[in-house]
Amino acid sequence: MSDPDPHRPGAFVGWADRLAQQLDVLAEREHLPFGYANLAVRGRKLDDVVGPQLDTALSMQPDLVSMVGGGNDLLRPTADVDALAARLEDAVVRIRRTGADVLLATPTDTRDAGLFKALRGRHAAHAANVFTIAQRHRCFVLNLWGMAALRDWRMWADDRIHLTTEGHRRVALAALTALGHDTDVADWTTPLPPASRATRAEILRGHADWARTHAAPWVQRRLRGTSSGDDVDAKRPSLGHFRDPAGEPTHQRLPEG
C-alpha cells in the first residue's frame, strides 16, 4: 500500500517485497535457491494471519516466515492485547516446530502521531509482548517501535496508516538488519531534514481532510462489518522465484527439495 510499483501500473511494492529482493541477491551470491510468497492482505486481522494465511505458508515448507499481525486489531476499541499475544505465540510455536525461522515486527511508536497518540499504550504493550515471544522462541524482531525516523509524518501516506515508498525502503533495510545482514544503518535510521513548521490552520485542515477521506470510510466499513481487503487476494499466493530472467516477478512453484 502507498508504495507504487514503477514498472506495473496499479501494483504496489512494499517492504516485504523489498526485503525479498535483497535476500534474493544474497542467495544468488551464495548459489542458493530462493523462493518467495507474500500472503498478506490489507485490512485483515490477526485471526486471518494466524489462520488461513499461516496454513498456506506452512504448506510451502518455508525456511523463514515473516509474520506481522495485530495492527488492525489494535485499532478496535475492544482490542484485548493479551489475547492477541497468546494467539501470536501459539502461531510462533507452530512455525518453530517445523524448524523455520520467524521474523516478527513491533508496532510503531505513535508518540508524535496526533490522533493516533491515544493508541500508544496499546502499541507499547504489544511491542513488549512481541519481544517477549521472540525471546522465548528465538525469533528475529523488526523493531519498528525503535525507528525514530518513522515518527516523521513524511514517512506516511495520506491515510496515516500505510508507509510511503521511502518508509517501506527503510523498513526493508531494518528487517534485513534484524535478520543479521549488514546494511548502511545510517541510511535507514537518519531522520529526514527538518520540515517547515505547519501553521495551526494547516494542521486543522489536514485533520479535517483525513477525517473526511480516510477515517469516515473506515468507520462506515466497521458499521457494515466489512473490510477494505474483503475483495482483495494475496499478490504472491504461491512460492516462486522472485524474478524471472526478464526481471519480472513470477509465481512459479519451486521444485520440491
Neighbours of 255 (CB within 10 A): 7
Which pLDDT belongs to residue 253? 37
Residue 28 lies in a domain: yes
Q: Any idea what DSSP says for residue 63?
A: S
What's phi and psi for 133, nearest 5 deg?
Answer: -60, -45
Ranges of H-type helices in the chain: 15-29, 46-48, 54-59, 71-74, 81-96, 120-137, 165-178, 185-189, 200-210, 216-224
Residue 4 lies in a domain: no
Residue 161 lies in a domain: yes
The distance of Cα 118 from the centroid of its chain, to the nearest Å, equals 21
Tell me the residue range of the domain where 168 lies: 15-191+233-241
- Assess contact for 226 and 218: CB atoms under 8 A: no
- Report residue 198 as a C-alpha cell: 505547519
Q: What is the mean pLDDT of residues 58-85?
A: 93
CA distance 107 to 35: 27
Q: What is the mean pLDDT of residues 158-186?
A: 93
CA distance 257 to 236: 20
Residues 6+ away with beta carbon under 8 Å from 92:
67, 102, 104, 133, 137, 139
CA distance 163 to 2: 6
Which pLDDT belongs to residue 109? 93
* Average pLDDT taken over every residue of the chain: 86
Which pLDDT belongs to residue 221? 67
What are 11-59's pLDDT values in tens digits? 889 999 999 999 999 999 999 999 999 999 888 899 999 999 999 999 9
Considering the chain, what percentage of its residues have pLDDT values greater than 90? 55
Neighbours of 60 (CB within 10 A): 17
Which pLDDT belongs to residue 196? 77
Residue 167 lies in a domain: yes
Name which of 88, 84, 65, 66 is nearest 74 in CA terms: 84
What's phi and psi for 50, nearest 5 deg?
Answer: -90, 0
Q: For the ranges 79-88, 109-118, 207-216, which has the lowest average pLDDT?
A: 207-216
CA distance 127 to 107: 6
Which pLDDT belongs to residue 34? 94
Which pLDDT belongs to residue 223? 61
Residue 40 lies in a domain: yes
Q: For the ranges 28-42, 126-140, 187-201, which has the lowest average pLDDT?
A: 187-201
Residue 184 is part of a domain; what is its CATH number? 3.40.50.1110
Residue 157 lies in a domain: yes
Which pLDDT belongs to residue 215? 65
Residue 27 lies in a domain: yes
Residue 213 lies in a domain: no
Which pLDDT belongs to residue 230? 62
CA distance 126 to 128: 5
Q: Angle between the 81-96 and 120-137 helix axes, to the nearest 10 degrees?
A: 30
Which pLDDT belongs to residue 227? 63
Q: How many domains does the chain have?
A: 1
CA distance 71 to 59: 25
What are 197-249's pLDDT values in tens digits? 877 786 677 767 767 776 676 567 666 676 665 667 788 888 888 764 334 44
- Assess contact for 226 and 43: CB atoms under 8 A: no
